[in-house]
Structures are given as C-alpha cells and as structure tokens.
Structure 1
Amino acid sequence: MSVLSSMPAATDKDERRRALSAFLRSRRERIQPEEVGFAPGGRRRTPGLRREEVAQLAGVGVTWYTWLEQGRDINVSAQVLEAISRTLRLDRLERNHLYTLAGIALGPARSENIALPGSVQKMLDQLSPYPAQVLNSRYDVLAFNDAYCQVVIDVDAIPLEERNLLWLTFVSDEWRCNFADSDSIKQHMVAGYRVALADHLGEPSWQDLTERLLASSPLFAELWERYDVAAPSGKLKVLNNERVGLLRMEAVSLWLSQLGQVRSTVYTPADAETEAKLRLLVND
C-alpha cells in the first residue's frame, strides 16, 4: 500500500477550513499597514497586515484569530465574522464567501451575489430621475440608483442580508413598499419566484429563503400553496409616495444576459404628472 493511499480522505469540512485559511490570509496580505493606521516601518516577513493587527482591529483575541486563519476547528459567530469582514474591507461578495466557508448562515435572505461590473452601476446612475434596480431571479437586490431609494424604498438603509424583495414585501413592516395594487403584485412575485426556484431545487440558500418566508408570512404561505407560475411583468404600477402622492409608472425589465439570470428593472413615468413628481423628488 502506498503512503498516499493509506492517508485518510479529506472531508468537505477539512476542505472548507483550508479554503477559509487561504482566503483570510490573501485578504489580510492585500491591506497595507498605513491604510488602517499602523506605522509602515519595521521588518515584516509577509506583505500586508500581521495576524495580531487584524485581531486588534477586529476586537478579537490574537490566538483565536490565528487558529481561525490556520483552519482549526473552532466556534465562530456571525458577530465576529462581521467584525473581521469590516477589518479586512471585504466587499459584499467576499463577505458572503467568508460566511459560507465558515458555515454561518447570512440571515433571512441570504443573497446569491454576482460581481457586477462597474458599468452596471454607471448605467443605473445615468437613468435618474427614473428609479432603477438590478435583481437576480431570487429577488435579491444587487444594485440600485439614488432615485430608487428616494422614490420606491431606501435600500441604502437596509442591512445587506435583508435586501431581498420577497422578504421586504412579505415580512418586513419597516421597509414595505407602498404600491397601491400590492395584492396583485404579491401574487405575481410569488408566482415568479416559483418559476425561478425550479432551476435551483435542493440548493441550500434557496431552500432556506423559502422556508423562512413560509414560517414568517402566512400570506406568502397561502399564495405558495396556489402553485401559480408567472414571468416578469411590465404592467402599470401605482406607487403612493409619502412626499408627492400617487405615481403611475411602467416597469421595464432589461435582461443582463452576460451575467446569467439577472435583470435591471427601470420605472418610467406613465404620464406627465408623474414625470414632474419624479424630477421634484430626485432633484429636491
């Protein structure tokens, strides 16, 4: 028997720990000490921050962080991962990757993030005063412009893990949108989600979102049991904005095919009165 064949096979957990170790080290080494307030001088064996510096900035023990980066089997909390994410300046996609490797669920609407090119955000910004957003097939909000925040819902103020339109519509009282035809919109959203789910059956993040919605919203559960299916619709939508009153808008969906099942939805005014109100809201 060879030496290799006599070694125990690596488990999925072992592989995840090794990946976590390599990922943390790579993110740590890309940050220069002077970027976070440390003196640049002194001899450093590796580029970027030292482990003890990361631990200090994140407010965790040096030994604990060292064990984490070494891939040891230790308990990790979401709060500590959040502190490490901020310290290592992780973007949204990197943060989600860190949570996945650590085996920590992100929350009620764990987002399936896609690294959007900067040109997509530039496009959304240029559409102002028309509200616009980018969604994936699971209704995660991946990008948006300032007009969308001012007219529809203030996504900037919503925690990253809750930026899912199904969760915001059916569960969150604080962030619920004020569409006049909300009953019809909710029915259509659930029917559209069922269509999308067919391509992701058995995937943990989709299953987690569905189970949380069913447990948290009796209305979602009721609509889910109808087994309706539908495609994205561009029908007229009426929004009751607290500052300017009713807005009549048409939702136009533009599929960003190079990014997979991702679409940009742009709300365009259906009449001159709405056009004027949009410009007042965004330019005020």
Structure 2
Amino acid sequence: MPEQRVQRDELGAFLRSRRERITPDEVGLPPTGRRRTPGLRREELALLAGMSATWYTYLEQGRDIRASDQVLDALASVLRLDPHERGHLFRLAGRTPAPEAEGPEPLAAEMAAVPLLIQSHPAYIIGGNYDVLSHNQAAHELFPNLTTTPDRPPNFVRWVFLEPAARDFLVDWEPEARALLARLRTLAGRHPGDPRYTRLIDELHTGSPEMRAWWPRYDVQARHGGRKRLRCPGRGVVEYAYTAFHVAEQPEQTLVIYSDARESGG
C-alpha cells in the first residue's frame, strides 16, 4: 500500500477515535435517544465544524482529498484536541502546524503542588522546552542560580549552557550538556516554529560556542532518568540518582526527582 494511502488511513482512524470520545452533550447537542456507536455522528461533527457531511466522511474514509489549515483548525476545535493532538492531526493531513501561541506553558495546580509534597528530595517540573514550571526549596538550594530569574521562567537548558556556576557544579558538564541538547532537539522537532523553542535556541546560539558547534550534529534523545555527579558546597562530589515521570495529560511535562545515590542504595 502506498505510503500516502497509509497516512490517509491513519488520519481517518485518528479522526474517528477522537470523534467517538466526544459526547453530544459536551458540544451542546440535544439528546437523540439511543446511539449505535459512542460519541458524535459524522454529520454532527461536520455541522459543528462548518463542512459538508459527505466531505467529512470522505476525509475519515481516507479518500484522496486535501484539508486546508482552516478545516483542520475547525476539526481540532470541535474535537477538543490538545496541542500535541492538534500537531499530530496536521502532520497526518500533510500540513505543517501553525506556530503555537507564546506565553508560559500551563501547569495544572494539582501538578504544581507535587514537588512541594516531596520537599525532602529536590524536585521540579519542566515543560517541553525545559522551562522550570514548579520546584521545591530543596531544588532551589541544590542547583545554584537555577530558579533565581525574576524576569522570566527559569530554564534548565539555559542554566546548563549559560550559567557559569553550572560548569563547575555539573562534574561531567560536557556529556550532560550534549545529552540535554539532544533531548531539546527531539522536543523542538515536534513544535516547528513555536517561539518558545526558537527563542531559546537563538539565545543559546548567541551565548554558547558549544551550542553553535553541537547543534548542527542533529543528535536526538528521549527524556529518561539516570545519574548526575554534582559538586555540592561542603559535601564535595555527590552522585545523585534522578527519576523522570511524564505527566499523563501533558506528556512533554516531566516531574524530575533527585536523591543521593548512597542513601537510595545505589
């Protein structure tokens, strides 16, 4: 089966799965009795998105038709897609998602409170572009100058590459920085044109010769847990184990928790 047909079939399956999870009452439609299938009917979705039911049916059936950005935006709105789902929809339709809106990445209040609940361990939550969205006092004390940026959100990548103290604090600075940059590239690739990423990347290019040397290598890497050797005042070099937990509703947001490897049995 040609690749384009496979992609059209995947687009149809994705639309169908998202249509079936939206109930009529969620979009203000009156109840119509018992339904054979869950979610919205095709004609209901088409009406809400401002298109013909026949045209939408062709799209869901994987027919060889092209959807405009306006049509995809309308479908994304009615289907209540989050930014990651919206991007996936555009890519399946062979379109490039428009840049996402500027501004701080939203973090649910119940998630923002989690680092505070584990105050004995340094913990923070980072967004997709490594902005530190929430942190506890232990993290503030462990990482010198990471969270002292009153004019903008603290950012872990910016701290590693542009904060002079980070180079001494991170014992293995170069491999840590290379791996971090590979993870940033992976995430930035999912958000082409997003100013939150382009602005950070431009800032790193301006301020870091290592960034200018390493970025063209196109290294990529997924986020994961691991170990870091940190040079702590009064304690010398301490090896920390850290664990990364992805937030269910926002998979690019990550809760990171540190513990002394000696105390955790490492």
Q: Same fold (TM over 0.5)?
A: yes
| Structure 1 residue 124: Cα displacement | 0.8
Structure 2 residue 157 is the aligned partner of structure 1 residue 166:
yes
Identity of aligned residues (%): 21
1:229 is matched with which residue?
220
Instruction: Tell me how far apart the structure 2 counterparts of residues 205 and 137 of structure 1 sit (CA, whole Å).
Output: 9
2:184 is matched with which residue?
193
Query: Any idea what SS the aligned residue of 1:231 has?
Result: coil
Q: Note the 1:40-79 alignment, pairs <5 A.
A: none
* 2:112–2:125 CA contact under 8 A, matched in 1: no
| Structure 1 residue 177: Cα displacement | 6.7
1:259 to 250, 257, 263: 250
* 1:248–1:274 CA contact under 8 A, matched in 2: no
1:176–1:149 distance in 2 versus 1, CA, 3 Å? farther
| Structure 1 residue 153: Cα displacement | 3.1
Q: Note the 1:129-278 alignment, pairs <5 A.
A: 129-161=120-152, 163-173=154-164, 178-272=169-263
* 1:247–1:274 CA contact under 8 A, matched in 2: no
* 1:168–1:176 CA contact under 8 A, matched in 2: no
TM-score (norm 1): 0.53
Gap regions ≥5 residues in structure 1: 1-110, 276-284
| Structure 1 residue 274: Cα displacement | 9.8
| Structure 1 residue 257: Cα displacement | 2.0
Aligned length: 166
Instruction: Tell me how far apart the structure 1 counterparts of residues 183 and 148 of structure 2 sit (CA, whole Å).
Output: 26
| Structure 1 residue 125: Cα displacement | 1.4
1:128–1:205 distance in 2 versus 1, CA, 3 Å? closer
1:182–1:140 distance in 2 versus 1, CA, 3 Å? same
CA RMSD of aligned residues (A): 2.6
Instruction: Tell me how far apart the structure 2 counterparts of residues 172 and 130 of structure 1 sit (CA, whole Å).
Output: 23
Q: Note the 1:90-101 alignment, pairs <5 A.
A: none
Instruction: Tell me how far apart the structure 1 counterparts of residues 123 and 263 of structure 2 sit (CA, whole Å).
Output: 19
Instruction: Tell me how far apart the structure 1 counterparts of residues 109 and 258 of structure 2 sit (CA, whole Å).
Output: 21
TM-score (norm 2): 0.56
* 1:249–1:274 CA contact under 8 A, matched in 2: no
